[in-house]
Amino acid sequence: MTTPLVIPSVDDLHDAALAERLQRAIDDKTKPLGALGRLEALMLRLGLILGTEAPTLQAPQMLVCAGDHGLAARGVSAYPSDVTWQMVENFLAGGAAVSVLARQHGVQLSVADCGVARAIAAREAAPGAPRLLQCRVAAGTQDASQGPAMDAAQCAQALVHGMAIVRGMPGNALLLGEMGIGNTSVASLLLARLGGVPLSECVGAGTGLDAAGIARKQAVLQQALEANNQAHEPLDALAALGGFEVATLAGAVLQAAAERRVIVVDGFITCAAVLVASRLQPHVLQRCVFSHRSGERGHGAMLGVLRAEPLLDLGLRLGEGSGAALAWPLLESACRVLREMASFASAGVSQQSA
């Protein structure tokens, strides 16, 4: 028996009184006005998300969702689909970039098999080690260039899985990651369809395609848009063009937003999941911190559609949640400075002359 899809309500966080108190506390710290730059905006955002003038980040969770794509058989990636399951094994073994960064920063890493072509064997995980979550919908999606990648029931199942994963997680912060050969194609398609961005501005090199490969990828994606020309509503577009991992992440984002968790968004593909979620519940975006601007062509356009200003710009294009993990210490610093930095009055420091 399948669980029915119920999109959780995500309320407006607008609280003028709290925002005023937070801004006053930030301005009263022992520094020139605005001297901590964008860290001050981050302090304000985190205080508003968590509803307090003394925000504390607790038990951060990195969720990496993995799935395979029928589109990959059309040569839209420089790597074969086998890399998806191989990298999932690498995540779990602790050898991937996101594994190292999560371990460094004390973030619990969970890897969800949402629909990897080769099923990942269950295993016991030591406390604190990366853990595997089994939430397979099918062994990869269908080829979106020939018709819908998922049917409506499969899409709903993946969304429900994402919501259930977050409900079972501790803490008040969710970091997003993904793995799936071909999923920059999915993000490009969703950006074009839901964001209204010309496909030519959405398509990039992905895992490292050359100019001819990018041209081939764009042609295949144009076919996918034409084959699914009637899918314009958010859930219809997600089912027709998306992937199991993107749908699972969209469900996770909706649930995390409903629970007022801080959502740390990684790169292009996780932004596509946020785009879908925000089309269903616009106030999702109030809970998001965008970690970085990636080197993938479409990501800048995606950030523009989401009206997002990322924290970092390091030319990353790895995915996995690596950018979210790298940005995590900035969130911790923002909270700590807001809680612990002295005010002019408490430190006995003279303020700027009038």
3-class SS string, the chain? CCCCCCCCCCCCCCCHHHHHHHHHHHHCECCCCCCCCHHHHHHHHHHHHHCCCCCCCCCCEEEEEEECCHHHHHCCCCCCCHHHHHHHHHHHHCCCHHHHHHHHHCCEEEEEEEECCCCCCCCCCCCCCCEEEECCCCCCCCCCCCCCCCCHHHHHHHHHHHHHHHHCCCCCEEEEEEECCCHHHHHHHHHHHHHCCCHHHCCCCCCCCCHHHHHHHHHHHHHHHHHCCCCCCHHHHHHHHCCHHHHHHHHHHHHHHHCCCEEEECCHHHHHHHHHHHHHCHHHHHHEEECECCCCHHHHHHHHHHCCCCCECCCCCCCCCHHHHHHHHHHHHHHHHHHHCCEHHHHCCCCCCC
309 given a catalytic annotation: no
Rounded Cα distance, 274 and 257, in Å:
11
Find the catalytic residue in 309, 320, 332, 340: 320
- Judge whether 165 and 135 are in contact, CB under 8 Å: yes
Longest dimension (CA), the chain: 70
- Judge whether 202 and 218 are in contact, CB under 8 Å: no
Instruction: Tell me which residue has tokens 């899409």.
Output: 155
Rounded Cα distance, 140 and 87, in Å:
16
List residues with catalytic annotation.
Answer: 320
